[in-house]
Amino acid sequence: MTRSPADPVRAEPGPPFEITFDGRPVRALPGQSIAAALWAAGILAWRTTRKAGAPRGAFCGIGSCYDCLATVNGRPNRRACLLRARPGDTVTTQEGTGHAELAV
């Protein structure tokens, strides 16, 4: 028997929709955060650190640590763990501070 976390509460999410991550289609469910949709698609990192360029993704999952920052619909520094996915959202890997155009 296959069970889902939604089974105990008899939750029935609406139909899935699509967002994109770095040009790749990703399936999301209504009410799901961007981080959860990316995780479900096997994407674990969507940001690099400022100095070392190390990959980062969700860490705390509650918006305290800022490891989950991503560029969403052209806006950098969006916390993917707190931001609800919407149909057509475009998520791109954020490099460093997300403001490379401001570098001197």
Q: Mean pLDDT in the chain?
A: 87
Please give the pLDDT value at position 52. 86
Q: Specify the CATH number for the domain of residue 63.
A: 3.10.20.440
Q: State residue 72's pLDDT score.
A: 96
15 vs 101: which has the higher pLDDT: 15
For position 17, what pLDDT does the model report? 96
Rounded Cα distance, 102 and 104, in Å: 7
Q: Which two tokens stand for residue 100?
A: 């490379």
User: Model confidence over 32-83: pLDDT tens digits?
Assistant: 999 999 999 999 999 888 888 888 888 888 888 888 899 999 999 999 999 9
In a domain, 43, yes or no: yes
Q: How far apart are CA 88 and CA 98, in angstroms?
A: 21
Q: Please report whether residue 29 resides in a domain.
A: yes
Asked whether residue 88 is assigned to any structural domain, the reply reads: yes
Q: Give how many domains the chain has, as a whole number.
A: 1
Domain of residue 30 covers 14-96
Which is it for the CA torsion 68, 71, 76, 80, positive or negative?
negative
Round to whole Å and give the CA distance between 49 and 66. Answer: 11
